Amino acid sequence: MTALCDLARLIRSKNAGPFQLTFDVMFDEQAVYQRVKDSGVFTPEKIAPLFQQSPADVDIYFCEHARAVKVSIPRPYSQGSLEDSDGHGGQQYAPLMHLEIE
């Protein structure tokens, strides 16, 4: 097993509007991207608990041409609200870093 952060070139999070966050996981090599894709780790049922979401609210896209995985979830608080501690959404990716990939 290998942590996702040891396989990916980039793991980041950012706003996808005031009510959504998006996560990008990008890989240098096609074989590594395919290994992660085939691992079955990127499913709504496995990603949702990391962010206290319902699986129905998790969207996952595999971008073959970019060797990337994109995940979108609702923001826990709308951007700019008093409860929002990360207006740009740039610090929300940490739970993905230690996903174990076979």
- Supply the range of the domain harboring residue 30: 2-78+88-101
Looking at residue 60, its amino acid is I
Rounded CA separation 62/64 (Å): 6
In order along the chain (102 residues), what is the average pLDDT of each group of 10 residues?
98 96 98 98 98 98 98 95 93 96 95
Put simply, whether the predicted model's pTM sits higher than 0.75 gets the answer: yes
Write out the two tokens for 68.
């990337």
- Give the pLDDT score at 21: 98
In a domain, 83, yes or no: no
Distances (CA, A) of 59 to 42, 82, 91: 10, 26, 19
Q: What is the pLDDT, as a whole number, of residue 3?
A: 98
- Number of folded domains in the chain? 1
Residues 101, 29: Cα–Cα separation, whole Å: 15
Integer Cα distance of 33 and 38 in angstroms: 9
69: in domain: yes
Q: What is the pLDDT of residue 20?
A: 98
Residue 8 is assigned to a structural domain of this protein: yes
In a domain? residue 59: yes
